[in-house]
């Protein structure tokens, strides 16, 4: 017994060490994950009225900004940036749109100067820029200029590209590997193929065949010191030959099996000398499962209860004994909650210029009435505009979590049949994830917050430098917006010389004046920075090939665009005037002088001396000084003097203002604190001409036309209620019959909308996207015919 006892102690110690190490690995992973994900993230989906446009047409859009975890709309950011960029990532159109309670809508004109091609349509908030372009919304738009053919850059590219994706990440020698594959043509569409895997002796060792969209998988065990290639046929003429990835001498391999209604099976196999591995499951924001698996003969199977997993995509990651992520797999759990949208047109076939009424009914997964915020587009189907279109359901749950472009994402939500499940599994094997990287997590590198969220309105920012190029810190900078509504903002530069103006209700293109206080600074250089992101995704959309079969529809769309611009130009330029707070930032003034109520003087000095008792003027030498009379005595410092929102720091320039052009003067006689700035009173001049103030600026000020948030354009759709309207000789060549970004249903889940057909016969489709208050997305497509 005495000889055995020490062995028992040693065995117990070893077991404790192993258990302790196991706990430490998972604890380290969990801690790193929590630290990295302890930030709020947004996600954007945008519905456009269609996917293909002719230059000169209007693009209409609806923005949904949601919590990336819950899909509920969020009210953090008040602004979304939208761009169309070309193949060189150069923006051809940009706009800023105001977000209200996570929703926004607007329009863009497709420039007539661009060439035909596939462009990127992307959107993001300032806050999203902290997490990189992988978190931006992005999709393909096809833009066609009938006068400019698309630029072709084949450069000897193969007609098809074949890629292989070992399940979990690596191909490992001597272990059965599940390998996903993807075959895509130059048009970006998947190709249906059959093929074989051959070794160095050209012996066939495996066969494979695509199931859907050029995707599939096969099982294969690579042998040591062997190389393999795939030979596949996409067409009778096109043979694809591709080397398989080189198998690792040692590594980890996983296989996910979903053949149980309640559990997933994740099998880990390795030829590494190890005792155990660790499984960590998460959905990008929340830990779903964490467990330890003891290897036996290099294998272990984890059973994962599906009830533990959230709806949508889950990441299943295997860690080795050193806490390194060695293999990863994605799994998709179909959402339990549903927003079922039913739509019914009053007829199935209409003649031209006839009214169409569509009734809506919304229900949840329990068939109970539901309500939601809907966006709806009704457009023609032809060779340019197909029925396939990105929708909110597949985007929020699937596309937004994966890399690249997914072909027909709505297909994976169309049914729950076995083939669809297999196709989805192939997609998750081959597409890859885009919103998460373990190397950043384990290195304790959370996203650096470089961009502040725009929680109030648009942030106009820039950098203040000296003549030597050195950034100036702790300096006050001022922004004035000449106009009828007083818009004046202050900022102080931070340790990097950056300034930020937190504007509010800044709509349309305005002239802005940015300057420092000329009494203390006459040499600083002001650089105003672009608010748009300079980051770009590396993904390239396929080149546009215009087939002869498209030419007739291109001509029809081009004619439609020309007719709309010629006959309905005024209707297309109608904008809604936003409601804004017109109260001055300083509130109610102590007194207002309307200069027309007094005898007009030629000099401003005479006006102030004779009429404005609250102001004291002196000129001890060559420079004027102005003081404001407070409640008991004159205030010590110089007041803030504004003319149409532009500050004047040189009192000599104030005296040069032509009083005959000034409408009124507001006086604030108390010391006023505005942000970090302090002013001993305020003199606010308002001229008869709204931008008169910008004509009196210091030479170091920056004056530029600056685009704020876009004004809301009205969607024009003619009505044909009377015989006179029906018989109007004005042509109506609309291919988009209806657009509404803000349809809401009542408490019973009911709603309706109506519109009129145009002069163009054909098949039309309505696309409905919606989001309920609790973050449940839904989509619906309906069709009808128009005949002459």
pLDDT digit string, tens, across residues 81-120: 999 999 999 999 999 999 999 999 999 999 999 999 999 9
Percent of the chain with pLDDT over 70: 95
**CA 405 from centre of chain:** 15
Percent of the chain with pLDDT over 90: 78
How would residue 190 be classed by pLDDT, with cut points 50, 70 and 90?
Answer: very high
Q: What is the mean pLDDT of residues 412-418?
A: 93
pLDDT digits (tens, 9 = 90+) for 500-547: 999 999 999 999 999 999 888 888 999 999 999 999 998 889 989 898
Residue 435, pLDDT above cutoff 70? no
Q: What is the mean pLDDT of residues 660-664?
A: 95
State residue 278's pLDDT score: 96
CA–CA separation, 582 and 579 (whole Å) = 9
State residue 13's pLDDT score: 36
pTM: 0.92
Q: What is the mean pLDDT of residues 447-464?
A: 93
Q: What is the mean pLDDT of residues 671-682?
A: 95
Q: Note whether 123 and 532 are within 8 A (CB).
A: no
Q: What is the mean pLDDT of residues 354-374?
A: 96
State residue 21's pLDDT score: 55
Q: List Cβ neighbours of 637 (8 Å cut-off, separation of 6 or more).
A: 678, 679, 680
Beta bridge partners of 206: 197
CA 641 → CA 58, 653, 665, 697, 744, distances in Å?
A: 43, 10, 10, 12, 48
Structure tokens at 628: 């404001």
Burial (CB < 10 A; 0-12, 13-18, 19+), residue 261, is: exposed
State residue 14's pLDDT score: 35
Structure tokens at 451: 């961009």
β 160-166/177-185 pair status: antiparallel
How would residue 18 be classed by pLDDT, with cut points 50, 70 and 90?
Answer: very low
State residue 235's pLDDT score: 67
Residue appearing with tokens 């964490």: 290
Q: What is the mean pLDDT of residues 693-709?
A: 85
State residue 9's pLDDT score: 40
CA–CA separation, 376 and 48 (whole Å) = 9
β 103-109/117-124 pair status: unpaired
Residue 10, pLDDT above cutoff 70? no
- What is the pLDDT of the chain when averaged over all its residues? 91
> Under the phi-then-psi rule, with left for phi > 0, alpha for psi from -120 to 50, and beta for the rest, what region is 393?
alpha
Residue appearing with tokens 């530069």: 493
Judged by DSSP in three states, 66 sits in strand
How would residue 633 be classed by pLDDT, with cut points 50, 70 and 90?
Answer: very high
Q: What is the mean pLDDT of residues 234-241?
A: 79
Residue 237, pLDDT above cutoff 80? no
How would residue 407 be classed by pLDDT, with cut points 50, 70 and 90?
Answer: very high
- What CATH code would you report for 42-151+536-572? 2.60.40.1930
How would residue 449 be classed by pLDDT, with cut points 50, 70 and 90?
Answer: confident
CA–CA separation, 158 and 191 (whole Å) = 13
Candidate CATH numbers 2.170.130.10, 3.30.1510.10, 1.10.1200.10, 3.40.640.10; the one for domain 591-707: 2.170.130.10
State residue 19's pLDDT score: 42
Domain extents for the chain?
Answer: 42-151+536-572, 459-528, 591-707
CA–CA separation, 562 and 55 (whole Å) = 10
**Which of 389 and 245 is assigned the larger pLDDT?**
245
Beta strands in 153-298, from DSSP E residues, in sequence order: 160-166, 177-185, 194-198, 204-209, 215-220, 229-233, 239-243, 252-257, 263-270, 276-282, 287-294
Q: List Cβ neighbours of 394 (8 Å cut-off, separation of 6 or more).
A: 406, 409, 410, 412, 413, 779
pLDDT digits (tens, 9 = 90+) for 576-611: 999 999 999 999 999 999 999 999 999 999 999 999
């Amino acid at each position: 017994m005495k000889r055995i006892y020490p062995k028992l102690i040693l065995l117990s110690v070893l077991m404790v060490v192993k258990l302790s190490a196991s706990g430490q690995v998972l604890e380290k992973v969990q801690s790193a994950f929590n630290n990295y994900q302890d930030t709020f993230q947004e996600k954007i989906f945008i519905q456009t009225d269609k996917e293909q446009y002719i230059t000169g047409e209007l693009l209409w859009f609806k923005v949904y900004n949601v919590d990336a975890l819950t899909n509920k709309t969020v009210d953090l950011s008040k602004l979304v940036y939208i761009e169309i960029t070309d193949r060189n990532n150069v923006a051809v159109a940009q706009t800023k749109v105001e977000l209200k309670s996570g929703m926004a809508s607007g329009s863009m004109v497709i420039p007539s100067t661009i060439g035909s091609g596939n462009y990127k349509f992307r959107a993001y908030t300032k806050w999203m820029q902290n997490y990189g372009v992988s978190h931006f919304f992005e999709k393909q738009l096809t833009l066609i200029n009938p006068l400019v053919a698309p630029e072709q850059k084949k450069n000897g590219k193969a007609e098809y590209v074949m890629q292989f994706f070992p399940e979990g990440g690596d191909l490992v020698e001597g272990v059965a590997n599940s390998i996903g594959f993807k075959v895509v043509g130059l048009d970006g569409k998947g190709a249906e193929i059959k093929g074989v895997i051959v070794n160095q002796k050209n012996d066939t060792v495996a066969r494979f065949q695509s199931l859907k969209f050029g995707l599939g998988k096969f099982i294969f065990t690579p042998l040591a010191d062997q190389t393999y290639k795939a030979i596949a046929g996409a067409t009778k003429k096109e043979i694809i030959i591709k080397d398989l990835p080189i198998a690792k001498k040692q590594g980890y391999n996983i296989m996910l099996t979903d053949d149980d209604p309640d559990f997933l099976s994740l099998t880990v196999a390795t030829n590494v000398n190890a005792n155990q591995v660790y499984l960590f499951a998460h959905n990008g924001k929340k830990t779903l499962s964490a467990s330890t698996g003891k290897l036996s003969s290099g294998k272990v199977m984890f059973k994962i209860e599906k009830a533990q997993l959230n709806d949508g995509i889950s990441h299943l990651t295997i860690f080795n004994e050193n806490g390194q992520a060695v293999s990863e797999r994605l799994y998709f759990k179909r959402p339990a909650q549903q927003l079922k949208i039913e739509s019914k047109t009053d007829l199935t076939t209409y003649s031209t210029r006839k009214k169409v009424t569509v009734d809506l009914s919304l229900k949840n997964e329990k068939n109970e009435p539901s309500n939601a915020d809907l966006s709806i587009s009704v457009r023609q189907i032809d060779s340019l505009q197909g029925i396939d279109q990105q929708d909110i359901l597949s985007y929020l749950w699937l596309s937004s979590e994966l890399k690249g472009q997914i072909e027909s994402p709505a297909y994976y939500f169309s049914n729950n049949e076995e083939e669809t499940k297999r196709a989805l599994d192939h997609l998750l094997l081959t597409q890859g994830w885009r919103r998460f990287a373990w190397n950043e997590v384990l290195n304790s590198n959370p996203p650096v917050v470089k961009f502040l969220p725009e929680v109030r309105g648009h942030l106009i920012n820039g950098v203040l430098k000296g003549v030597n190029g050195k950034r100036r810190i702790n300096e006050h900078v001022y922004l004035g917006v000449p106009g009828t509504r007083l818009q004046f903002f202050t900022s102080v530069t931070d340790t990097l010389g950056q300034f930020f103006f937190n504007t509010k209700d800044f709509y349309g293109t305005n002239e802005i004046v940015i300057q420092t206080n000329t009494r203390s600074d006459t040499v600083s250089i002001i650089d105003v920075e672009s608010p748009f992101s300079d980051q770009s995704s590396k993904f390239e959309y396929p080149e546009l090939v215009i087939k002869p079969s498209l030419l007739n529809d291109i001509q029809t769309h081009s004619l439609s665009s020309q007719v709309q611009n010629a006959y309905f130009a005024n209707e297309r330029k109608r904008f809604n005037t936003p409601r804004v707070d017109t109260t001055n930032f300083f509130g109610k003034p102590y007194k207002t002088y309307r200069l027309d109520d007094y005898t007009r003087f030629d000099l401003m000095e005479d006006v102030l001396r004779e009429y404005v008792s609250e102001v004291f003027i002196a000129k001890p030498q060559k420079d004027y000084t102005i003081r404001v009379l407070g409640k008991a005595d004159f205030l010590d410092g110089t007041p803030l003097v504004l003319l149409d929102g532009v500050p004047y720091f040189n009192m000599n320039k104030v005296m040069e203002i032509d009083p005959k052009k000034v409408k009124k003067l507001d006086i604030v006689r108390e010391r006023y604190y505005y942000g970090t700035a302090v002013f001993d009173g305020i003199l606010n001049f308002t001229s008869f001409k709204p931008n008169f103030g910008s004509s009196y600026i210091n030479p170091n000020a920056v004056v530029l036309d600056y685009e704020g948030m876009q004004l809301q354009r009205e969607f024009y759709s003619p009505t044909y209620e009377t015989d006179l309207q029906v018989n109007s000789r004005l042509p109506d060549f609309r291919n988009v019959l209806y657009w509404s970004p803000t349809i809401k249903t009542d408490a019973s889940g009911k709603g309706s909308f109506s519109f009129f057909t145009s002069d163009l016969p054909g098949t039309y489709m309505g696309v409905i996207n919606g989001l309920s208050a609790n973050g449940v997305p839904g989509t619906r497509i309906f069709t009808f015919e128009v005949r002459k």
